[in-house]
Amino acid sequence: MFKTFVALAGVAAMAGTTAFAADISGAGATFPAPIYAKWAEAYKAQTGVGLNYQAIGSGGGIKQIKAKTVDFGASDKPLKPEDLSASGLYQFPTVMGGVVPVVNLPGIAPGQLKLTGPLLAAIFYGQIKSWNDANIARINPGLKLPALPITVVHRSDGSGTSFLFTSYLAMKSKAWGEKVGASDTVSWPVGLGGKGNDGVSAFVKQTQGAIGYVEYAYAKQNKATYALVQNKVGRFPQPDAPAFAAAAAGAKWAAAPGNYLLLLDQPGANAWPITGATFILVYKDQSNPAQGAQVLKFFDWAYKSGDQAAASLDYVPLPAPVKALMRKQWLTNVTAGGKPVYTPGK
């Protein structure tokens, strides 16, 4: 879907000088690619402005915006304030969503298998090697677990989804934190690598006994078998928009320097434990104010008109006060010659 969309955007860009000047280019996270594609289609229909978005992973998006080859980068791994400052960048969130484990196990339906954070860490570390292991069976009484070897599938590219997933594993397993760590790229102890959420989905789908991790929209669209994960209060919520919203309920964006905020292992009774926001990266001092304005116009439109589309894909829109805070930040954080390149509402 995303390759097709990018190709269509490129055709629109080549249609004429005016269209080319107006079109927006971005690259990065695959986590929000489904909603960015949906927003872009609606936005182009309304405004004639196209979006050429390359879903190449958060690491690639960060590299491309730093190289100034795109108008914006996209990352599920928020950059820390010191990193933003060193690169002259500013970041703001767009939507929130969840990361889910997906499996290929005969006879197991979506949501039947239950896992805990420590179990996930042990599986992805290679310590638990078979699906009928006693540790998995213990929290799945009555579920017929196949005697299949476990094949771990992880991201091969620099990935914000990996950052969220490995950060969660590091929170739940001291050994994982010390030996593997949490980042967009880690030295995986075992497993196969797939590029993007779609690459991981494809590997899991074609490999019996496989387990991977993807953004929930991919699991939903591909009708993948997902596992439930025990949250901080011991429950196993369904991964859906209400569970992601429950995890985000206590988010204090106004108190987060550089909008650096993680939403992992939150205490809400119905909170999905692996929840995160996804971010846009732009230069604070815009060398091309017109293109900088186009980027903010697009995301301002998405804030105003994109919530229903986001919810249809089980992303969680930002609360209205958070959107208002971001619009206010744009006035002082995305400028040219000290003046804002775009003023919302004008």
128-180 pLDDT, tens digit per residue, is 999 999 999 999 999 999 999 999 999 999 999 999 999 999 999 999 999 99
Q: Would the pTM of this model clear 0.85, i.e. be above it?
A: yes
pLDDT of 245 reads 95
* Percentage of residues of the chain with pLDDT beyond 90: 91
51/88 same-domain check: yes
pLDDT of 205 reads 95
pLDDT of 345 reads 79
Domain count, the chain: 2
220-271 pLDDT, tens digit per residue, is 988 999 999 999 999 999 999 999 999 999 899 999 999 999 999 999 999 9
Is the pLDDT confidence value at 46 over 70? yes
Please indicate, yes or no, if residue 262 is contained in any of the structural domains. no
109/204 same-domain check: yes
Domain containing residue 222: 102-249
7/94 same-domain check: yes
Report helix, strand or coil for 114: strand
Please indicate, yes or no, if residue 86 is contained in any of the structural domains. yes
Mean pLDDT of the chain: 93
More confident residue, 1 or 50: 50
Question: 94 near 279, Cβ under 8 Å?
Answer: yes
Q: Where are the alpha helices (DSSP H) in the chain?
A: 2-14, 17-22, 33-47, 58-66, 81-87, 117-125, 134-138, 160-172, 174-179, 196-206, 216-221, 241-248, 289-305, 307-312, 320-333
130/214 same-domain check: yes
